[in-house]
Structure 1
């Protein structure tokens, strides 16, 4: 039996959708892409990989905040 991780499938869909030219996208197409990215974020967030991304982004944000002071 072949199992497909939903987060991996959504990541592939996101890459394929974002490779298309911007001019070829309609407003509904852009909304669907945003929805897919949000669902992907919700699926990845509780994983160790997602927590690592949160930590890195938090450190970057703290560094930018501290450098502007």
Structure 2
């Protein structure tokens, strides 16, 4: 039996959608891409990988804030 992780499937969809030229996208196409990216973020957030990404981004933001002082 083959299983597909929904977050991985959405990542593949986003990859192929973002490969298209910017000029070829309509406003509704861009909105759909944003919705797909947000859905992927919601799916990955509670996972250990999502928590790791959150920690890295928090450290990065902290470093940028301290560098600006």
TM-score class, shorter: over 0.9
The unaligned stretches of length 5 or more in structure 2 are none
Partner of 2:13: 13
2:28 match: secondary structure? helix
Question: When the two structures are superposed, what TM-score results if normalisation uses the length of structure 2?
Answer: 0.97
Indicate the SS of the match to 1:34.
helix
How many aligned positions are there? 69
TM-score normalised by L of structure 1: 0.97
Displacement of 1:3: 1.2
C-alpha RMSD of the superposition: 0.5
Deviations 1:16-58 (A, max 9, x none): 0001000000000000000000000000000010111000000
Runs of 4 or more above 3 Å deviation = none
